[in-house]
Amino acid sequence: MSDFICEIMRTRIWCNPTPMRDYFTSQLSQALNGLSDRAKEAKEFLVQLRTMVQQIQENSVEFEACLVAQCDALIDALNRRKAQLLARVNKEHEHKLKVVRDQISHCTVKLRQTTGLMEYCLEVIKENDPSGFLQISDALIRRVHLTEDQWGKGTLTPRMTTDFDLSLDNSPLLQSIHQLDFVQVKASSPVPATPILQLEECCTHNNSATLSWKQPPLSTVAADGYILELDDGSGGQFREVYVGKETMCTVDGLHFNSTYNARVKAFNKTGVSPYSKTLVLQTSEVAWFAFDPGSAHSDIIFSNDNLTVTCSSYDDRVVLGKTGFSKGVHYWELTIDRYDNHPDPAFGVARIDVMKDMMLGKDDKAWAMYVDNNRSWFMHNNSHTNRTEGGITKGATIGVLLDLNRKTLTFFVNNEQQGPIAFENVEGLFFPAVSLNRNVQVTLHTGLPVPDFYSSRASIA
């Protein structure tokens, strides 16, 4: 029976196929619609790929240009550093030549004096006047011995070596160059939080400032380091004074009686934090300092916490103060504790590299007044000017007033100005300085205000 029914159905389909055709046509149309959508997506994808090709080419050109610029910046920085290092070598070269030439000049003068003394002594020996010889022989012998002693104490030892004690350590830079590579850009992580300046630990002393900071208590982002910035003390631009991991820093060499603004920010590999609040710092109005054993001639003898000095030599030796000045008005005094045999000590200011084995003012690195028991002179680069009557004794007070606002240097003896303004147009970094021999002892007094009469006169001017 079933076979019969199937046969009837096949006969009907064969006789009328339209319904089945419509059915399969519908199915094929639906499949084509899906395939058409895929083909459309493929065309759009090809357009996207072709656009990517163009973008890759453009980005490659831009990236190469950026890479070249970064490498050129490194080369420029290296060339600038090269120029700075060459300048240091040239400065060292000039310094060595000057020291050697100064020693040649110094030794030549001493040799000429020694030769003259020898010739004079030989002439005296040739004289046939025994009584005259006996009158001066003792003094001549002492003078010969003294001259011979002056040739000791390292006089015939070069003060400077011919070698350049400079060695360029380029291994860290070479290692950094070898390690220079691209880093894979990752999803950005947050920058550190803004540091907080700890006001209770920030302070100034003399012309130094100490600053301390910390991360906020609830900060969860670590800082790799910090950047501390100060302005110039006159409201100018900020400059970096410290970069590192520490959270405390002392900045030396600031100007006296100046107001500085300080701020700090944190950084990590992602970037830098915002700046902290700005802290205002005021340096000391007057300078407190002592003599500097580190830069003094070896014949200088120190006592009284380096405030009192004398000398073991009959020759003049130089000692500097420990603090340098480049701005503002500064006044200090020196009392004469001992003054024997009428020597002529010198007082004034000098550069850090002043010659230490001759009277202050003999070279071009010092500006000084030298004074004996009757009169004084000003001296710079061995040029003597403005002889002024009035000298010193034990107990006298020498005042030195360095006015870098008006670029002048003035001297006082026992609270009275000694002569006119000694020097004008003085600019740069100056250190208080004294030269003396074994017949003199002086004590330094600092932290003194500018004398009232000078302040009023300066305000009128």
- Beta carbons within 8 Å of 36's beta carbon, 6+ residues apart: none
Condensed to tens digits (0 to 9), the pLDDT of residues 368-390 reads 999 999 999 999 999 999 999 99
For residues 394 and 8, what is the distance between their CA atoms, to the nearest angstrom? 150
Q: Let me know: does 363 contact 436? Beta carbons within 8 Å.
A: no
Distance CA 436, CA 358 (A): 9
Task: For residues 120 and 428, give the distance between their C-alpha atoms in angstroms, rounded to a whole number.
Answer: 47
- The list of the chain residues with pLDDT below 70 reads 1-17, 153-154, 184-188, 455-461
Q: What is the pLDDT of residues 164-215, one digit of tens each?
A: 877 888 888 888 888 888 775 554 578 899 999 999 999 998 889 999 999 9
Query: Closest Cα to residue 449, out of 325, 333, 370?
Result: 333
pLDDT of the residue at 5: 46
Neighbours of 345 (CB within 10 A): 26
The pTM score is 0.54
**What pLDDT, on a 0 to 100 scale, did the predictor assign at position 395?**
95
Say if residues 445 and 347 touch (Cβ distance below 8 Å).
Answer: no
Spatial separation of the C-alpha atoms in residues 405 and 328, rounded to whole Å: 6
Q: Could you give the 3-state DSSP secondary structure of residue 132? A: helix
390 token code pair: 């009035």
Cα distance between the two ends of the chain: 138
> Counting Cβ atoms within 10 Å, is residue 100 exposed (0-12), middle (13-18) or buried (19+)?
middle
- The model's pLDDT over 315-351, given as tens digits with 9 standing for 90+, comes to 999 999 999 998 889 999 999 999 999 999 999 999 9
Residues 383, 317: contact at Cβ < 8 Å?
no
Residue given tokens 């701005």 in the structure block: 327
> What are the helix (H) ranges across 127-247?
130-150, 171-179
Tell me if residue 43 falls in helix, strand or coil: helix
Whole-number pLDDT of residue 16: 59
DSSP string, 386-437: EEEE----TT-EEEEEEETTTTEEEEEETTEE-SS--EES--S-BEEEEEE-
Within its chain, how far is the Cα of 260 from the centroid? 17
User: 């002056």: which residue's tokens?
Assistant: 150
